[in-house]
Structure 1
Amino acid sequence: MKLFTLSTGDHVYRYYKSIVIPFEQPRKVVSTAIVNGGYREDLTAVFNNDCNPGAGMACTMRASTYQEHMNIIAAEIGLDPATTAGMGTAAAMENVAIYTQSYEKLTVTAIVTGGVEVNGGRVGDPADYFNPIDKRSLEKPGTINIILVIDADLPPGILTRALVTCTEAKTAALQELMAGSNYSTGLATGSGTDQTIVIANPASSLYLESAGKHSKLGELIGQTVLPAVKEALLKQTGLSPRQQHSMLRRFKRYGIGEESLWQAYAGNNDRAIIKPEFMDALYQVDSDNYLVTYTALYVHLLDELQWELISGIEVRQAGNELLTAVAARFGVEAPVITDISTDACLKAWQALMLAIVRSKSMELAGR
């Protein structure tokens, strides 16, 4: 089915689990695609393909190498593998988000699919993958995949700068959602397998020589990519401000979760409540407006400590004030941070949550 008609005259289609854009005339393209990637002026189409065979199942390759797999997909959807750049993903094409913005004769459109729940990470996170391989070997499919269409002519270097601005916009979207890394305590800047295709229109009368944040083009890139990334993440996994209004989700990247809290409670030999009662009480307080607000402040203290923007002494003082305020709100005894370390702060918050959950559980049980 046809999803959208671009200002360039090209059409955006969805079929065979793919988003496909055949070009009506020559385009300038820069991409991170494994097949026909880099800077190209000879491409006839681009696509984004969902390689996921079904819910909960891993992506499967149709050939021994990723390049051959993508060539098979391109041929199946009616494109010339030799002149097509494609991206693979586990995200559903039905969850695509399309945003477009214009200024005078300039139009920019972002077409995005993606998710970061599984492999969202922060640049510089510890990694264990280093495996030099044959140049034609398998590559992993992308997670946040972006096709950015700019209805203007750009020189190759500026087209590449547009890709950088596009990446900044994606990261800004993740920062605004406070999406956490799955590999460190940091905020995610993307996933480990993101891919991007940026397309310019050499037939346009507009010839632009800037795509940075000071340019109108850079502004439009941000105004399309940022909301498109947010919408795609919402559609794919539910990631949204509403979902992030949660004590547990805010503390996930620091290792505090449902199971860790239960294990800490059970390890204290306090068997006043059983696990189902514990979890019920935990979920009931998890999105409490007051608790989420103070959680956000407490977690940010830990971030500032990690980034060396404030000292451990300052964190300990402010953290104890927050612990006291939350404890008073829920009618429990406030734990005290005694050491100037992240670990000490986490142990104090865990102790606070155990007291709150125990109190809430007793309240629910009428004890």
Structure 2
Amino acid sequence: MAVPFLEGKNHLYHSNAWPGATVSLESELQHPHIRISLPEPVASISSAIYGGGFVSLDHIVNRYVDKHYDCSDPVNDMSNFIAAHGYPAETTAGLMTAVRLKYTSIREEPGEQASILCCTTAGVGNAARAGSSRTTFAAYQPGTINIMLLIDGMMTPACMLNAVLTATEAKAAVLHDLGVKDHETGAVATGTTTDAMVLGISGNTAYGVNHHYAGTATDLGGMIGRLVYESVTESIVSEREDRI
């Protein structure tokens, strides 16, 4: 099931592509969140508000906050949140989203040279087009399209960045195909004002390939683009259909 939490209840999803990896909806706590747990720490690059940059991760937390969230000190707030829930401070990435967590989409695919797990929460209430003149904001706002892309395999650092580019292109393609517009300019949106992404790489040598490229013309890039496209689409559409 690609939208496993649609009923909004606690649920644990076991990955088929990455043995030992789990995704859970923690909906009955005071601060609902999606938790991704990995069997071993992975190399990562991310724009997460907490645990971002180039770090080693074994947990990713996507926390729900409402649109009135006080964002004056999100890093300290997320740090306190992670500590309160017992997640390891040094190996956890924390994101925030105003999208209801039941619309989380999970897409995954095992492969001969790598296997991929993609988990997305996507809403387009603050859709925007990069490159257009528009209002900007100094303060942090909770992310609206959060993509957690986990690849079981080996990749060079340059390839990791290439994978982020491919995933971003796939996200922008979804918004184009769904006709999502920048609410301020009316142009087709390329994302939202507050998107975030976490890319994690296991370094698993069993596949026998160390990937140097992840562009759209490669097998790996094709998998990344397809799964991100499907996952972002599914999260947006499930939210739209649930409102009808």
Give the drift of 1:59.
Answer: 2.6
**Which amino acid in 2 is paired with 1:37?**
G
**Which amino acid in 2 is paired with 1:27?**
V
Name 1:217's counterpart in structure 2. Answer: 220
Name 1:168's counterpart in structure 2. Answer: 169
Task: From the CA coordinates, give the structure whose radius of gyration is larger.
Answer: 1
Give the drift of 1:94.
Answer: 1.0
Distance, in Å, in 2 between the alignment partners of 1:167 and 1:236 is 21
Residues 47 and 197, structure 2, Cα contact 8 Å, conserved in 1? yes
Shift of the 122–65 alpha-carbon distance from structure 1 to 2, 3 Å rule, reads same
Name 1:365's counterpart in structure 2. Answer: none
Give the drift of 1:109.
Answer: 1.7
Give the drift of 1:230.
Answer: 0.8
Give the drift of 1:236.
Answer: 2.4
Give the drift of 1:8.
Answer: 4.3
Match of 1:59 among 47, 66, 69: 69
Name 2:49's counterpart in structure 1. Answer: 34
Residues 39 and 156, structure 1, Cα contact 8 Å, conserved in 2? no
- Which SS does the other structure have where 2:205 is aligned? coil
Give the drift of 1:95.
Answer: 0.8
Distance, in Å, in 1 between the alignment partners of 2:195 and 2:137 is 18
TM-score (normalizing by structure 1): 0.58
Quick one: higher RCO (CA 8 Å, sep 6+), 1 or 2? 2
1:175-324 to structure 2, matched below 5 A, reads 175-206=176-207, 207-238=210-241
Identity %: 28
Residues 13 and 21, structure 1, Cα contact 8 Å, conserved in 2? yes
Shift of the 12–130 alpha-carbon distance from structure 1 to 2, 3 Å rule, reads closer
Paired residue total: 227
Q: Work out whether 1:86 is the aligned partner of 2:87.
A: no
**Which amino acid in 2 is paired with 1:11?**
T
Q: Work out whether 1:126 is the aligned partner of 2:133.
A: yes
**Which amino acid in 2 is paired with 1:123?**
A
**Which amino acid in 1 is paired with 2:157?**
P
Distance, in Å, in 2 between the alignment partners of 1:18 and 1:125 is 33
Name 2:3's counterpart in structure 1. Answer: none
Name 1:275's counterpart in structure 2. Answer: none
Give the drift of 1:105.
Answer: 4.3
Between 1:199-208 and 1:158-167, the stretch displaced more is: 199-208
TM-score (normalizing by structure 2): 0.86
Give the drift of 1:50.
Answer: 0.6
Structure having the larger proportion of residues in helix:
1
Q: Work out whether 1:49 is the aligned partner of 2:63.
A: yes
**Which amino acid in 1 is paired with 2:69?**
C
- Which SS does the other structure have where 1:68 is aligned? helix
- Which SS does the other structure have where 1:23 is aligned? strand
CA RMSD of aligned residues (A): 2.1
Distance, in Å, in 2 between the alignment partners of 1:7 and 1:76 is 28
Q: Write out per-residue CA displacement over residues 187-224 of structure 1, whole angstroms, 9 at most, x where no aligned residue.
A: 01110100000111113323211111111110001111
1:89-128 to structure 2, matched below 5 A, reads 89-116=97-124, 118-128=125-135
Shift of the 139–204 alpha-carbon distance from structure 1 to 2, 3 Å rule, reads farther
Residues 51 and 60, structure 1, Cα contact 8 Å, conserved in 2? no
Q: Any gaps of 5 or more consecutive residues in structure 2?
A: 1-10
Distance, in Å, in 2 between the alignment partners of 1:60 and 1:3 is 31
